[in-house]
């Protein structure tokens, strides 16, 4: 697999980061998992202790000729509160922080440019806190976390609304979610 076909994003709870990207032309696969930490093959329970250094993240395999990386970045920004340093919505702790993990120099430059553009847009009154970090080993999350929104739609939708994510997205980005 070529590195230019991978994108890795941490946007808080990984359950909420799958559906915005799926079913788009050029998106081949989306995997929920853990990255950015020091523990090999961590479990969900270990990551939730905030001692592994890992973020909950999604890794997307995509065809850049059909769906450019810049479009992935645009969707990513519209799913998170990029100003929150301590997690996302009611999920708190280092595993729920936001980050873009770049796989090559082009992704790094695109991520930095998109972050700078968002900062300059004036959309948010606080500074953009999302990290831009080099990609590191990605560990697939347990099976029950994969496509959680499809397997457990009622719980997923209650979580998305109850956490404040759905209202935040509607407030800042309109009806997109």
Active site positions, annotated:
13
Q: How many CB atoms lie within 10 A of CB 151?
A: 12
Tokens in use for 134? 């080099």
Tokens in use for 132? 């831009």
Nearest to 130 by CA among 61, 55, 71, 72: 55
Identify the burial level of 40 via C-beta atoms within 10 angstroms of its C-beta, where 0-12 means exposed, 13-18 middle and 19 or more buried: exposed
């Amino acid at each position: 697999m070529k590195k230019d076909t991978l994108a890795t994003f941490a946007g808080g709870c990984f359950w909420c980061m799958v559906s915005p990207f799926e079913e788009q032309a050029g998106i081949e696969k989306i995997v929920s998992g853990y990255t950015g930490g020091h523990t090999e093959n961590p479990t969900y329970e270990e990551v939730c202790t905030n001692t592994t250094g890992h973020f909950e993240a999604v890794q997307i395999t995509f065809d850049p000729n059909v769906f450019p990386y810049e479009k992935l970045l645009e969707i990513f920004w519209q799913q998170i509160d990029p100003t929150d340093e301590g997690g996302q919505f009611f999920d708190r702790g280092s595993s729920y922080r936001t980050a873009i993990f770049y796989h090559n120099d082009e992704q790094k430059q695109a991520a930095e440019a998109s972050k700078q553009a968002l900062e300059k847009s004036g959309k948010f009154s606080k500074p953009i806190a999302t990290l831009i970090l080099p990609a590191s080993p990605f560990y697939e999350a347990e099976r029950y976390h994969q496509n959680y929104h499809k397997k457990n739609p009622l719980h997923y939708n209650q979580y998305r609304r109850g956490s404040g994510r759905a209202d935040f997205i509607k407030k800042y980005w309109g009806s997109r979610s």
